[in-house]
Amino acid sequence: MGRGRQKAKHTKVARELKYFSPDTNYSALERELASESEKHSSEESWAEYADKYNTDDEDDD
């Protein structure tokens, strides 16, 4: 008898999560994205990073 109530509660929660749309703080998002781009511009390029950690499967034989 408790399963029906439990399933209804889960359905209600899932529906609330599906249709919930919080207000977006665009200024905070802009600051976060700007700080990420500055961080990546000072680091090594992705190609150098990939070469540093690249492993060859041929050496395992």
Residue ranges covered by each domain of the chain: 24-52
End-to-end CA distance of the chain: 60
User: In the prediction, which pLDDT does 59 show?
Assistant: 56
> Which pLDDT band holds residue 5 (cuts at 50, 70, 90)?
very high
Q: Concatenate the DSSP letters of all residues of 14-46 into one string.
A: HHHHHH--PPP-HHHHHHHHHHHHHHHHTS--H
Q: What is the pLDDT of residues 14-46, one digit of tens each?
A: 999 999 888 889 999 899 988 876 666 555 577
- Judge whether residue 11 has pLDDT over 90: yes
